[in-house]
Amino acid sequence: MIFAPGALGGTVRVPGDKSISHRALMLAACSAQPVSITNLNAGHDVAATCTALRALGATIHWNGDDATVTGGTLHDADGTLDCMNSGSTARMIAGLCAGANLRARLDGDASLRRRPMEPVAAQLRAFGARIETTDAHLPAQIAGTAEPQTRSFILLSPSAQIKTALLLAGVFARVPIAITGDKGSRDHTERLLRYWGAGISFDRERIVLESPPVSFEAVRVAGDFSAAAFFIVAATVTPGSAVRIENVGVNPTRTGLLDALQDMGAHIRLENPREESGEPVADIVVEHARLRGVPVGQQTVVRAIDEIPVLAVAAAFAHGETRISGVRDLRNKESDRVEAIAHLLEAAGIEAATSDDAIVIRGGTPRAQGAIVETHGDHRTAMAAAALASGAGPLEIDDPGSIAVSFPGFIEAWQAAQAA
């Protein structure tokens, strides 16, 4: 697949938020009555969660981007739960099993088997579950508990997935829990629980779940900000661009990219702000702008962890130096995204100096001439290559199929925006 240069225009719609989709499916599985979810992300990661929940006894009718979920009485999984490439599925379903007193074997593809499982396993063991990992990774065997032990937890580093696993354990066990040490990771689980009537309080540091959900109103999943990010950056760096991205989730725990880009001089505005199913939503309007390099600190990175590859693309076009700090966790994603960023920018003649926890990019005038970018099966690297190509010149990716993990219709949407 070759991405061509060219300005972006018109109106874009992105799929439902992947993070919210996982959480909506899992929490809906504790309802004995049907729960309606619309605008569900149709990517492979969410499909992995859907398949796992069905194997545990949930009934899920899924048609396009709409689904109806009925949970009620769940049961042990007969076979292995294949989490495919989805770390969210593996870590969060472990929390559900822990609280619902279920037994399951979790596994995934080669990429997921390289990602750490002990941080979440250790917390769930404290809750009372029995978990055996394979050298701290998948495959893992889990046996939930009918007698929860620890109910107060401290996160050693901000992690929305571990936090969600613990909240799911509390919800399915119907016991109160408290979590500290969060430091502002994405709060979709907390918002959805509040929307469904759970007794919950939360801020950027502490979460207290006092009681489970009591009503399961229909949920409309906000548009995925992480998917919108590629259009936002491409329009910013490509002369002649002006694009509107409709119905995007703008949860402040997710919009660190917007803050960084606006510090760099981007022309971005939010229109038609509103709330849907407990989440802030808006239309994002972006025009081309000249950028300058800025320091991007860890507090911003926590709120932009999935957008760092495409933020690095913006930095490649910025005048001066951009230093992005606090990126250690990117080395344990679908690929080592720190090194993937360096190789991606190198394809357009821009050097990125990397260390264990930082990326330093000296921007300039990226020029690509059809180089092949190795994605290592990582959907975000593949889509970041499209954003880089839009302003720098043609780039080829080795694995366009990886994009279907989160955004199956991305290539068509991209081509339409460039043709507008």
The full 3-state SS of the chain, as one line of letters, equals CEECCCCCEEEEECCECHHHHHHHHHHHCCCCCCEEEECCCCCHHHHHHHHHHHHCCCEEEEECCEEEEECCCCCCCCCEEECCCCHHHHHHHHHHHHHHCCEEEEECCHHHHCCCCHHHHHHHHHHCCEEEEECCEEEEEEECCCCCCCCEEECCCCCHHHHHHHHHHHHHHCCCEEEECCCCCCCHHHHHHHHCCCEEEECCCEEEEEECCCCCCCEECCECHHHHHHHHHHHHHCCCCEEEEEEEECCCCCCHHHHHHHHHCCEEEEEEEEEECCEEEEEEEEECCCCECCEECHHHHHCCHHHHHHHHHHHHHCECEEEEECCHHHHHCCCCHHHHHHHHHHCCCCCEEECCCEEEEECCCCCCCCCEECCCCCHHHHHHHHHHHHHHCCEEECCHHHHHHCCCCHHHHHHHHHHC
Encoded tokens for 209: 């779940």
> How many other C-beta atoms are found inside a 10 Å radius of the C-beta of residue 39?
25
3-state secondary structure string, 381-398?
HHHHHHHHHHHHCCEEEC
User: How far, rounded to the nearest angstrom, does the alpha carbon of residue 75 sit from its chain's CA centroid?
Assistant: 28
- CATH number of the domain bearing residue 386: 3.65.10.10
pLDDT in tens, 161-204: 999 999 999 999 999 999 999 988 999 999 999 999 999 999 98
pLDDT number for residue 336: 85
Q: What pLDDT does residue 402 have?
A: 93
Q: At 97, give phi and psi (nearest 5°).
A: -65, -40
- CA distances 208 to 129, 215, 332, Å, are 20, 19, 29
- List the domain range (segments joined by +) for residue 27: 18-219
Q: What is the pLDDT of residue 331?
A: 81
* Domains contained in the chain, number: 2
CA distance 255 to 400: 26
**Marked catalytic residue, from 182, 306, 329, 378:** 306
Single residue among 188, 219, 250 that ends a domain in this structure: 219
Count CB atoms within 10 A of the CB of residue 364.
15
Last residue within a domain, chosen from 196, 219, 242: 219
Q: What is the pLDDT of residue 301?
A: 92
Do 199 and 307 share a domain, yes or no? no
Contact 322, 365 (CB under 8 A): no
CA–CA dist 150, 127 (Å, integer): 5
Question: Are 286 and 343 within one domain?
Answer: yes
Residue 201, beta-bridge partner list: 208
Contact, 374 vs 367, CB < 8 A? no
| Whether residues 205 and 241 fall in one domain | no
Whole-angstrom Cα distance, residue 163 to residue 205? 11
Residues 211 and 351 placed together within one structural domain of the fold: no
Give CA–CA dist 114/131, Å, rounded.
Answer: 18
C-alpha 240/C-alpha 8 separation (Å) is: 8
Phi, psi angle pair for 5, to nearest 5°: -75, 160
Answer yes or no: 306 catalytic. Answer: yes
Are 261 and 363 in a shared domain?
A: yes
Are 146 and 118 within one domain? yes
Q: Same domain for 391 and 281?
A: yes
Q: Are residues 173 and 103 in the same domain?
A: yes
Give the span between the Cα atoms of 340 and 382, in whole angstroms.
10
End-of-domain residue from the set 201, 219, 237: 219
pTM of the model: 0.95
The torsion defined by the Cα of 201, 206, 208 and 209, in degrees rounded to 10, comes to 90
Are residues 273 and 363 both part of a single domain?
A: yes
pLDDT for 223: 98
Residues 56, 181: one domain? Answer: yes
- Is 226 found in the same domain as 213? no
Domain match, 265 and 376 both: yes
- Contact between residue 416 and residue 50 where contact means Cβ atoms under 8 Å apart: no
Question: Which residue in the block uniquely carries the two structure tokens 């500290």?
Answer: 180
Low-confidence ranges of the chain (pLDDT < 50): none
Q: Is the dihedral of CA 184, 189, 192, 194 positive or negative?
A: negative
What is the distance between the alpha carbons of residues 309 and 132, in angstroms, rounded to a whole number?
33
Q: Which long-range CB contacts under 8 A does 346-349 form with residues at least 24 apart? A: 347/371, 347/372, 347/373, 347/385, 347/388, 347/395, 348/316, 348/388, 348/392, 348/393, 348/395
